[in-house]
Amino acid sequence: MKKYDNLIKNAVGRMVPTEINGEKQVPFKGVGKFIPTGRKHAPRIESCTNYPADGNKLVPNLKEALIKSGLKDGMTISTHHHFRNGDVIANQIFDIAHELGVKNLRWFPSASFPCQEHLIKYLEDGTIHHIEGSMNGALGRFCSQGKMSGLGILRSHGGRYQAVQDGDVKIDIAVIAAPTADAFGNANGVEGSAACGLLGFALADSQYADKVIVVTDNLVPFPCIPWQIHGNLVDYTVLVDQVGIPEKIISGTTRITKSPDRLLIAEMTAQFCDEAGIVKDGFSYQAGAGGTSLSIGIYFSNILKERGIKARFIRAGSNKYPVQMLEEGLVDYILDGQTFDLEGVRSMRENPGHINTSPFTSYNYHGKGNFSTMVDVAILGATEVDVNFNANVVTHSDGYLLHGIGGWQNCLFSKCTILPIPLFRDRIPVIKDEVTTICGPGELIDVITTERGIAINPRRTDLIEKFKNSKLPIKTIEELKDEAEKICGKPAKANLSDEIVAAIKWVDGTIIDVVKKVND
Amino acid sequence: MNKKLGEIICTGNKGKGIRSDCYVSLELTKEGGIDIQLISKVKVLFGASIIDLAKEILNFFEIKNAKILIEDSGALPFVIAARIEAAIKKLIKTDKEYLQELIPENLYDTQKDCNRFSRLYLPGNSPSLMINAGIHNPNGIILDLEDSVAAHKKHEARFIVRNALRQVDFYGAERMVRINQIPKGLEDLDYLIPHNVHLLLIPKCESPSQIEQVNQKISKIKKSLNIEKNIWLMPIIESALGVIKAYEIANAAENVVAIAIGLEDYSADLGTRRTNEASESFFARSMLVNAARATGIQPIDSVFSDVGDMEGLKQNVLKSKALGFDGMGCIHPRQIQIIHDNFAPDEAEITKAKKIVIAFIEATEKGLGVVSLGTKMIDPPVVKRAQNTIELAISLGKLDKDWNEFETEK
């Protein structure tokens, strides 16, 4: 089986394969242009007669659960990343598979982390065929060097839900590590020593996988309340000593940036939103957990306080800052996709206005709407942006695959998408003629704010008109690019081969770009 | 040319937390040509250009055989060049200088009485902080060669400061350098005067003769290079003797435009501790303000060193303004805005100034020689001060430049 075949030019001008790891693929056709037909994928029909009537689905250990689930060559095994760098279960799954001599597995995590570097040896010995999910750190490097047997596929959080729902990826066994669960399989993320807030990334897996295993170190008598994962979808439950390493799951503190340059970018971004008329009573925003995004939240919160108004909702990976706003009455709801600190977990446990969401509710493109389009402003990051406002979040300018897409692509659908970024990092300009990898098409990216000026996408004539007499430093994106190159010099091109090592999916399952192998 | 063979000279910085800098180890060899080794986090994108730059500099100094190791953490060309040249000049004696372009953005001048509310101190051997300093809009940027540079780094810092003056965009801020204490500081001047430095801070100043020494050296350099423009001086008073001599120092020369106080050293000299209430320095600060006003120059206050305490800074600025100071130093870009906002005229001052200026305009239009507001006569110096307040408010963005149109429409 070839890793990929039959390249074709897609709607953003990139050559992408129409066949990957033996499966047919659709090239990106433009935003909103690919409309699927047919019905969703469905798991097998089960009968409760095959499950214990007392609800006790406990098996002695993970190995037995995997054997009972029918683990065999070529299967697709999924995990979630709510435990971030404190995950221990993914490594155990493949230790077991290796021990059993199972080969050619497809690992389908919602994201991978440096703690899973351990799996490189299984990629090398053929236990794992390839990864479909974000690859950072050592795994990203491994993939970038073309060492993976299959082609990597990266999806957004929403795109992963879509792929599972549509049957693009059929999960054979989903292993859901849960901070708290009962023997029936009901599970949540708010209680237990490994509390991570919520389990939304595992929702699709629980709904669509053939076999579902819930693993916990905090087994409570039925019912486990709240039950974000429904036991009715679960085949086996397993009790282990430790399901995750708490201090690596949650950072005890999240800090706003101390960098004066980043604070300046945050301040300019908040000012821009205010002048654009976005910050008003009942508005909503999406902000990440990065230092710059957090600081923008602080500026928003100051404006709200000063004017005695409040936001309707924050779509977020939450931490103590949005929580503070919620508890001070500056916002009605936090619609939380993943929780980054202990305050976030506490708030989700205690505050009725702190709501757990999932990639289904927030992002799924093949649904009857989703939350992302209703957000007034999304403030996101990028590793590179080009003069056509296309942006990259997965590779660095040297070509290495180092980040996942996360919910980034999905959030581009907000009413106004702003990327606050430094004009250059160390000596590397962020604005380029052409991004290394297109993750988001320029038509969805409205504004770039940098410490040396703000560029508005020419498509947003309304914003350009509004900012005609603004005191903010409005420049064209070409001007910003020239300014960066004047300071840094023009960088040479990354040394990339023609060989493709990974594909980047758009939110509708089409292929928007590929990642090339890095030459040494 | 004298050459030292077999000795390895290291310049620059490397290691954890170091960014936008590079570390250079240079050894001159007898034979074998130029051997350049580069370790760089931006090697893929800039490796070739870094090696070209290194070769060009070695060639410029006519070095044919050398081993050079560059450990780069994303340094800009002005930094790489400074590090290499500093190493070369430890090994060979030469009067040549490898000068990069003095960028056109940096060719502006400043006025004797321009606003000096804020001046941002930057350690002279830390290039990463220099690159973005100007975007925070301080009135002045100080590249510091004195206390923030370790004794064994003084040599290489001069090259960084010289190259920064030529290559880093200061975005309109006054270009200042704090030289070393006199007499050592006189050696710094060769690296500064030819590169459009606007103002020199002279630390630990205790006598007018120190100002004279600086001015003599400046004149010599200016003459040899045909430089006409003024170089402003801001002596810093940091001792009891300096405080007592403040008037003489302020009055020492035409190009002394401001006089500043450094309270850390001053408090130590008094044998006391610096407190937030600052009663220990009340005399010194008042003395300084009076010396400055008596000679028509600007009195400038010390820095507020707790960068996390913005409310404390604000109170400090308000006290400073009340004592008569025109500005103060800062050590973090986030302090700039607070210093500007609080040295700036407040709402009540602006409102009053507007009334006076409008009354003046009306009186002039009517051909009246006397300006009055209500039943009160307004003296010309008061009008002048009100006009200054308005100009200041406009320049600080606290008042629209067309304020008068709005006012008269009402």
Asked if A317 and A288 count as a contact pair (C-beta separation under 8 A), the reply is yes
Mean of pLDDT values over A48-57: 97
Query: Are B13 and B20 spatial neighbours (Cβ–Cβ below 8 Å)?
Result: no
Side-chain-side CA neighbours of A165 within 13 Å: the count stands at 23
Min Cα distance B338 → chain A (Å) is 14
Q: Record the tokens describing residue A503, joined without a space.
A: 């594909």
pLDDT at A501 over 50: yes
Please report the ipTM that was assigned to this predicted complex: 0.88
Give me the mean pLDDT over the A52-74 stretch.
98
A179-197 tens-digit pLDDT:
999 999 999 999 999 999 9
B49 and A492 in contact by Cβ < 8 A?
Answer: yes
Query: Residue B59 pLDDT more than 70?
Result: yes
Confidence of residue B5 (pLDDT cuts 50, 70, 90): confident
A116 pLDDT tier (thresholds 50, 70, 90): very high
Which range in A44-48, B376-380, B383-387 is most confidently predicted, on average pLDDT? A44-48
Mean pLDDT (chain A, rounded): 95
Closest to A176 measured CA to CA, from A57, A354, A350:
A57
> CA B301, CA A188: separation in Å to the nearest integer?
58
Query: Which of A295, A426, A454, A487 is the best mutation test for B, with the most CBs of B within 10 A?
Result: A426
Region B266-287 average pLDDT:
90
Q: Does A487 touch chain B (CB under 8 A)?
A: yes
- Our CA-based measurement puts residue B76 at a distance from the nearest CA of chain A, in whole angstroms, of 6
Cα separation of B81 and A206, whole Å?
A: 59
Residues A304-335: tens digit of each pLDDT: 999 999 999 999 888 889 999 999 999 999 99
Give mean pLDDT, residues B122-130: 96
Q: Does B20 touch chain A (CB under 8 A)?
A: yes
Q: Using an 8 Å Cβ cutoff, are A165 and A208 in contact?
A: yes
Asked if A2 has any chain B CB less than 8 Å from its own CB, the reply is no
Q: How confident is the model at residue B406 (pLDDT cuts 50, 70, 90)?
A: low
- CA pseudo-torsion sign B281, B287, B292, B293: positive
pLDDT at B410: 44
Instruction: Determine contact: B135 vs chain A, CB below 8 A.
Output: yes
Q: What count of other Cβ atoms lies within 10 Å of the Cβ of residue A30?
A: 13
Is B61 part of the contact surface with chain A (CB cutoff 8 Å)?
A: no
* Sequence-distant contacts of B314-320: CB under 8 A, at least 24 apart: B314/B338, B314/B342, B316/B276, B317/B342, B317/B343, B318/B342, B319/B278, B320/B285
Q: What is the mean pLDDT of residues A419-445?
A: 96
- AA letter at B45: L
Alpha helices in A214-373 (DSSP H): 246-249, 260-275, 291-307, 320-327, 342-350, 359-362
Closest Cβ opposite residue B74 in set A263, A427, A451: A427
Sign of CA dihedral B307, B311, B312, B313: positive
Q: How far apart are CA B388 and CA A90, in angstroms?
A: 69
Q: Are A188 and A197 in contact (CB under 8 A)?
A: no
> pLDDT of A248-303, one tens digit each?
887 655 677 788 999 999 999 999 999 999 999 999 999 876 778 888 999 999 99
| Burial category of B85 from C-beta neighbours within 10 Å (exposed 0-12, middle 13-18, buried 19 and up) | buried
> How far from B48 is each of A485, B26, B44, B66, B396, CA to CA, in Å?
16, 19, 8, 18, 45
Q: Which residues pair with A213 in a beta bridge?
A: A175, A236
Task: Please state the rounded mean pLDDT for residues A100-126.
Answer: 97
How far is the C-alpha of B382 from the C-alpha of A403, rounded, in Å? 63
For residue A421, give both structure tokens.
Answer: 């970024």
- In B, minimum Cα distance to A473 occurs at B135
Report the alpha-carbon distance of residue B332 to residue B329 in Å, rounded. 10
Among candidates A11, A21, A174, which has minimal Cα distance to A500? A21
> Is there a contact between A260 and B333 if contact means CB atoms under 8 Å apart?
yes
Helix/strand number for chain A, H first, E second: 15, 29
Structural contact between residues A36 and A365, judged by C-beta atoms closer than 8 angstroms:
no
Amino acid B408: pLDDT? 55
Tokens of A388: 């056509």
Which residue among A264, A471, A495 sits closest to B44, beta carbon to beta carbon? A495
Buried b (16+ CB within 10 A) or exposed e, A263-289: bbbbbbbbbbbeebebbeeebbbbbbb
Q: Is B169 on the interface with A (CB under 8 A)?
A: yes
Cα–Cα distance for residue pair B8/B385, rounded to 1 Å = 61
- Average pLDDT estimate for A356-372: 95
Report yes or no: B85 and B159 within 8 Å, Cβ to Cβ. Answer: yes
Mean pLDDT, chain B, whole residue set: 93
Is A492 close to B397, i.e. CB distance below 8 A?
A: no
